[in-house]
Structure 1
Amino acid sequence: MPKRPDLAVDPIEEVRRQWRERAWPAADEVLTVGSIMRVQQILLRRLEDTLKPYDLTFARFEALLLLLFSQHGSLPLGKMGERLLVHSTSVTSTVDRLERQGYVQRVAHPTDRRVILAQITELGRTTALEATEKVGADHFGLPGWSRADLASLSGLLRRIREENADFVEGRRDAESS
């Protein structure tokens, strides 16, 4: 993974310093949010480097896994958008690319002619499983982190998600399995 040149100053810490110097509110929050955003970029780059041999972006990998986890290996595109937390245009684009790669195919819904399903192919299933093994071996971009550290960080991030009603605890979709 390519590294950035050594920086004499942490740019995110510098933003906090500038905020404090100006006596603006929420300087610590600026540092925290900036750090989260930067870590997201770092992890995404690491994961996409790991997925490169499979010609997958992280978004396409997530879509393949979603189909792999589904009960019948297929889902309506609209349902995929809901579960992946993306706009329907993004799902269409993702499924288009996966279809060109031979990883999914579009099929008619068996009982509703208005609905098109994305269905994982055998090649898609094999690729998803191989890519998952590779991503898992890299510990999802967090090698060397202890279970306690992972649990602590996940708990803190979950708190943000809960405070923003990102999910409903204990609710499960009828089509989720």
Structure 2
Amino acid sequence: MNRRMDPLTTEVVDLIGTVVARYYQEYDAAAAVHHLTGAQARVLALLSGGPMPMRQIAQRLKCEPSNVTGIVDRLEAQGLAERLADPSDRRVKLAAATAKGRSTAAELRDSLDFAREPLAALSVDERTALRDLLQRMLTPEQD
């Protein structure tokens, strides 16, 4: 079945793609200031929310677990992350941000002008509507 997007949907998809590309470009530049790759910075951002199993990190980033192992190794070498045994299953390793890692992740997040500046131009109601629409796009429909 060959379904074509209507012009409005095409425009929205193109705009989303542009926003994502600009976000990653700025995120990678901000990461480089901290001597991190974009992937390392994204893993660090995930870990700043709390310890996480390596497999879950891979699922969230849509990559292979072996890639996550290398990223966490490099974060560990910089003192930004550590591995912990999962208290509920000692066979499972959790990756966790160190205090230095959490502060670095916060500095990275705060330095993202592209994410902050355009959103600041929107009212609270507009940002709320945008958030709600994005959440609705990402949430599977309930039957």
> Could you tell me the TM-score, scaled by structure 2's length?
0.71
Q: Residue by residue, what CA displacement relative to the aligned partner does 1:24-45 show, whole Å, maximum 9, x if unpaired?
A: 6523322221221122101221
Is 1:87 the counterpart of 2:57? The answer is no
Q: Which runs of 5+ in 2 are unaligned?
A: none
Matched residues, number: 136
The one-letter code sitting in structure 2 at the alignment partner of 1:153 is L
Give, in whole Å, the separation in 2 of the partners of 1:142 and 1:31.
22
Indicate the structure whose relative CO is greater, using CA pairs within 8 Å and at least 6 residues apart.
2
Structure 1 position 60, deviation (Å): 2.8
Give, in whole Å, the separation in 2 of the partners of 1:36 and 1:103.
31
Give, in whole Å, the separation in 1 of the partners of 2:39 and 2:117.
19
Give, in whole Å, the separation in 2 of the partners of 1:66 and 1:128.
9
Q: Secondary structure at the match of 2:96?
A: strand
Structure 1 position 61, deviation (Å): 2.9
> Could you tell me the TM-score, scaled by structure 1's length?
0.60
Going by fraction, where is strand more abundant, 1 or 2?
2
Distance 1:92 1:38, change over 3 A: same
Distance 1:61 1:25, change over 3 A: closer
Give, in whole Å, the separation in 2 of the partners of 1:78 and 1:114.
13
Q: Pick from 10, 13, 26 the counterpart of residue 46 of structure 1.
A: 26
Is 1:97 the counterpart of 2:77? The answer is no
Determine if contact 1:67/1:75 at 8 Å carries over to the other structure.
yes
Distance 1:49 1:101, change over 3 A: same
Structure 1 position 129, deviation (Å): 3.0
Q: CA RMSD in A?
A: 2.9
Seq. identity, %: 30
